[in-house]
């Protein structure tokens, strides 16, 4: 499949006060998302996943690399071209309370992109706003409210309505449900899924929550310290992780179970800061399978299957840091269907 959104060799550094070496928040990342599909970007804080999302939208200026969206070279655009291009992409932010201007009515928030990018008159904008509210399953009365009068779940729907106002074909979803109460989370995720299907939108879905990533994504990329350590089809990466870091991350997830607690591998220490990165594999200092050649150079990707790549030198010989699970030996997760 051809790429709809594509980034090659993405690097983003930030200067550090009082230090000569900058923080390398993103350190050579390739992203390919076909039209209408979802790439889940997983990682812990400091892994650079949000920075990648912002670079794709050019909300941050990448230090190196290329970004293409459709036929456009996003990084080559002048400021005015970029502003016009913003009608075709949008971002849904982590915290709906903070990403909506507290002093604007919902109507102004939703209609602002229409005012900036369309010739719709007041009436046309009102119609479109009402339509958007139906799309996100809210009511027109909500348009007259202020953000503090709505619940977190409702606000995030407003954030989605704003993002969809100009009918974009690419959305960056930056942890769109992580600050929502559990009871409304699934509703927002389902809403996103449906909108993607109906409107054929390409998603970059950023999250540290593996459960939601599994539910949302076609493909998954696992990031650690600014690099992608493993990527591939969601089912393969999440069910058969090959990189030791992916395995540790997945084993730290806590599904809602009532059965036996799954075997976990708890990593030592924390993600170091991405200043003065060690040469070689960024995970090597914490890796239980480290060997001497891990620190000599960045490990090349090993193909586990055709689409599934793990950047670890030990893939060929097997990387399981936990006892391998027998097939089908899943810890039963509770779902709505479970009854006694």
Partner 1 sequence: MTVPTTPDASAGLPIGGPPAHVDHDQPGAARAAARGFWRFVRSSPAAFTGTTIVLAFVVLAALADVLIATDPLQVFGRDLLVAPNSEHWFGTDGNGMDVFARTVHAIRIDLLISVSAVGLSIVVGVALGLIAGYRGGWFEMILLRVMDVLQAFPALILALAVVAAAQESITAVIAVIAFLDTPVFIRMTRGQVLSLREAMYVEAARSTGNKPWRIMWRHIMPNTLPPLIIQTAVRLAWSVMIVSSLAFVGVGIQVPTPEWGAMIRHGSAYVTSGQWWPSVFPGLALMLLVLGFNLLADAIQDHLDPRKD
Partner 2 sequence: MPSLLSVKGLRVHIETPDGTAHALNGVDLEVAEHEIVGLIGETGAGKSLTAWSVLGLLGPRASVVAGTAEFEGSDLVTMPERRRRRLRGRDLAVIVQNPRGALDPLRSIGRQIAQTNRRHRGVSRSTARRNAVQALRDVGIPDAARRSKSYAHQLSGGMAQRVLIALAMINEPRLIIADEPTTGLDLTVQAQILDLVRARVDETGSAVLLITHDLGVVAHYCDRVAVMFAGRIVEEGTVAQVFGDPRHPYTRALVAASSESLDEQLTEEEDRSDPPNLVDLPDGCHYRPRCPFAEESCAAPVPNVPLGEGHLALCHFPSALTAIERGTHDDQAGPRAEPVGEVSR
User: Which residues of this protein are in contact with partner 2, per CB under 8 A?
Assistant: 44-45, 137-138, 151-154, 157, 181-191, 193-194, 208, 211, 214-216, 248-249, 252-258, 261, 264, 266-267, 269-271, 333-336, 338-340
Instruction: Say which entry of partner 1, partner 2, none residue 331 contacts (CB below 5 to 8 A, set by partner kind).
Output: none
Between 181 and 200, CB nearer to partner 2: 181
Between 185 and 314, CB nearer to partner 2: 185
| Least distance to partner 1, CB of residue 179, Å | 11
Instruction: Say which entry of partner 1, partner 2, none residue 186 contacts (CB below 5 to 8 A, set by partner kind).
Output: partner 2
Cα 212 → chain centroid? 10
Between 54 and 302, CB nearer to partner 1: 54
Q: Where are the beta strands (DSSP E) in 104-183?
A: 170-174
Instruction: Say which entry of partner 2, partner 1, none residue 282 contacts (CB below 5 to 8 A, set by partner kind).
Output: none
SS3 (DSSP) at 272: coil
Between 65 and 159, CB nearer to partner 1: 159
What element of type H or E holds 234?
helix 234-239
Instruction: Say which entry of partner 1, partner 2, none residue 260 contacts (CB below 5 to 8 A, set by partner kind).
Output: none
Instruction: Say which entry of partner 2, partner 1, none residue 78 contacts (CB below 5 to 8 A, set by partner kind).
Output: none
Cα 134 → chain centroid? 26
Between 90 and 192, CB nearer to partner 1: 90
Q: Rounded distance, CA 125 to CA 143, Å?
A: 12
Residues in the site for partner 1, rule: CB under 8 A? 57, 59, 83-87, 90-91, 93-95, 97-105, 108, 112-113, 116-117, 146-149, 159, 162, 165-166
Q: Rounded distance, CA 283 to CA 160, Å?
A: 35
For 67, residues 6+ apart whose C-beta sits below 8 A from its C-beta are 5, 6, 7, 10, 55, 56, 58, 73, 74, 75
Instruction: Say which entry of partner 2, partner 1, none residue 145 contacts (CB below 5 to 8 A, set by partner kind).
Output: none
Question: Dihedral angle at the C-alpha atoms of 221, 14, 175, 329, nearest 10 degrees?
Answer: 30
Between 111 and 236, CB nearer to partner 1: 111
* CB contact at 8 A, 26 and 48: yes
For 198, residues 6+ apart whose C-beta sits below 8 A from its C-beta are none
């Amino acid at each position: 499949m051809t790429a709809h959104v594509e980034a090659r060799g993405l690097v983003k550094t930030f200067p550090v006060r009082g230090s000569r070496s900058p923080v390398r928040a993103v350190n050579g990342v390739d992203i390919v998302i076909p039209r209408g599909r979802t790439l889940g970007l997983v990682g812990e804080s400091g892994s650079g996943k949000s920075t990648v999302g912002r670079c794709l939208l050019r909300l941050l200026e990448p230090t190196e690399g290329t970004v293409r969206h459709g036929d456009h070279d996003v990084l080559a655009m002048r400021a005015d071209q970029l502003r016009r291009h913003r009608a075709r992409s949008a971002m849904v932010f982590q915290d709906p309370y903070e990403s909506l201007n507290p002093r604007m009515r919902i109507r102004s928030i939703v209609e602002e992109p229409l005012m900036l990018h369309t010739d719709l008159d007041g009436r046309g904008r009102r119609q479109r706003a009402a339509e958007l509210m139906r799309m996100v399953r809210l009511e027109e009365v909500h348009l007259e409210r202020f953000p503090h009068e709505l619940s977190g779940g409702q606000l995030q729907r407003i954030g989605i309505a704003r993002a969809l106002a100009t009918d974009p074909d690419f959305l960056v979803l930056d942890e769109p449900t992580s600050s929502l109460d559990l009871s409304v989370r699934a509703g927002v995720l389902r809403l996103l899924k449906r909108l993607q299907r109906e409107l054929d939108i390409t998603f970059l879905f950023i999250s540290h929550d593996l459960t939601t990533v599994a539910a949302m994504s076609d493909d998954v990329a696992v990031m650690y310290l600014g690099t992608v350590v493993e990527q591939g089809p969601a089912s393969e990466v999440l069910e058969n992780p090959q990189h030791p870091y992916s395995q540790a991350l997945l084993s730290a997830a806590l599904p809602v179970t009532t059965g036996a607690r799954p075997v976990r591998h708890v990593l030592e220490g924390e993600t170091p800061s991405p200043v003065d990165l060690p040469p070689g594999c960024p995970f090597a200092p914490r890796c239980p399978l480290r060997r001497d050649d891990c620190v000599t150079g960045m490990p090349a990707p090993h193909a586990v299957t055709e689409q599934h790549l793990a950047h670890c030198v030990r893939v060929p010989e097997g990387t399981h840091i936990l006892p391998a699970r027998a097939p089908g030996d899943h810890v039963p997760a509770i779902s709505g269907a479970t009854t006694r």
